[in-house]
Amino acid sequence: MLLEDDCEVVVKDMKGIPRYGLRFYSLKGYGYNTKWIPESMVPIAKEAIVRLRKLTNNARVVSNLLQSGEDYLYSWLNKSAFEILTIKDLNKLGFVINKEDISKENEIFLSSVESGVISIKAFWVYLLRKKSELKATSERDNRITHRNLLAINKDQLNSIKGTDIFTSLNAISNDFRSDFSIRNVNNIFRRHANSNIDSANLRFHSHQIRHLLNTMAQRSALSQVQIAHWSGRRNIKDNVVYDHMSHDELTELSRNVLNTHVNKGSSISNQKKSIDSDFRINLESNFKELEKKILDLDFSGQEKISEKIKTFRLMLENIIKKEKQNGKEVL
């Protein structure tokens, strides 16, 4: 909820490949930090930021005006206090006006602007009055800046009342909960006709999205340390809880981990080669037997086995990492 409008970061890695991330300010004293986005998620993340900037534009314009002060308003429009405010002036300030979505009160005010009876000074007083009214009725923290990407207008998410485009509020989680409710609400799924295969209405909560994103991160090239950092976790062991890769994926990943760490160019004895070969044959045989046993289990049993495989994978990765750090040959 604390992203800024310039949160996007693009940095080239050691191979010269551009990497995309989102910069944010950590609340626990860490300062500014960057959350790097897995390559498969980058297009969606970019589109989300574009849409958020568009949706929150008017709220950030209001916030910018109030923080910059009355003199800034006159200077930007190059008008004196008692000159007439026009719709073009509002557009120049950055407002995007869609009369189909605004509140009745806004419609009346804009009609007065079009009639030429509102001065620049009156507009400033109008903004201050609205700010004062919000401060008196809202419990949320209104100390926002024009850089807040998730600043919203009053009633912007209320399809009945209409948006008050001349107000600015910090968005909080409660603003969005009703959009995922299944009772007495025309939620986002009903509005866009999304349902399960059996025609039952879809429903999810924000924590399920975290599980989905973390599973996608597990499928990417991120290490367990990077995933923990990306998710804001202190302990990498907590990654397992959010990882929902199938047992087939985990089995294949375990094989890849083993095969990747083979030093093909090392000079080893024929005896060592034979041992490695026997080990691989034995390993593959065990994996095949394990797969057969897993497929014979019910869904609950498969879930339990998947959790154990995840734990095994983490243990295996840690062992390989320690061996490499100690300069030892792995397999």
List the domain boundaries for the chain. Answer: 1-53, 56-172, 245-325
How far is residue 150's CA from residue 54's CA, in Å, rounded to a whole number? 11
Over 80: is that where the pLDDT of 69 sits? yes
Do 123 and 85 touch, CB atoms closer than 8 A? yes
pLDDT recorded at residue 280: 64
Instruction: Report the percent of the chain where pLDDT is more than 90.
Output: 31
Q: Which of 123-132, 187-196, 244-253 has the lowest mean pLDDT?
A: 244-253
Over 60: is that where the pLDDT of 306 sits? yes
Residue type for position 96: V
For residue 84, what pLDDT band results from cuts at 50, 70 and 90? very high
Over 80: is that where the pLDDT of 159 sits? no
Q: Which of 97-106, 187-196, 268-277 has the highest mean pLDDT?
A: 97-106
Higher-confidence residue of 140 and 306: namely 306
Over 60: is that where the pLDDT of 271 sits? no
pTM for the full model? 0.62
pLDDT recorded at residue 114: 96
State how far Cα 284 lies from the chain centre: 39
Average per-residue pLDDT in the chain?
77
Residue 19: enclosing H or E segment and its boundaries? strand 18-26
Residue 163 pairs in a beta bridge with: 102
Which DSSP category does 160 fall into?
A: T
Residue type for position 133: E
For residue 25, which phi and psi values (nearest 5 degrees)? -105, 120
How far is residue 272's CA from residue 229's CA, in Å, rounded to a whole number? 39
Provide the angle, in degrees to the nearest 10, between the axes of the packed helices 206-219 and 224-231. Answer: 150
pLDDT digits (tens, 9 = 90+) for 102-158: 999 999 999 999 999 999 999 999 999 999 888 766 656 556 666 788 889 999 888
Do 126 and 165 touch, CB atoms closer than 8 A? no
How far is residue 2's CA from residue 151's CA, in Å, rounded to a whole number? 9
Q: Which of 108-122, 184-198, 255-269 has the lowest mean pLDDT?
A: 255-269
Residue 32 pairs in a beta bridge with: 25
Residue 312: enclosing H or E segment and its boundaries? helix 299-325
pLDDT recorded at residue 93: 96
Q: Which of 26-40, 123-137, 257-271, 311-325 has the highest mean pLDDT?
A: 123-137
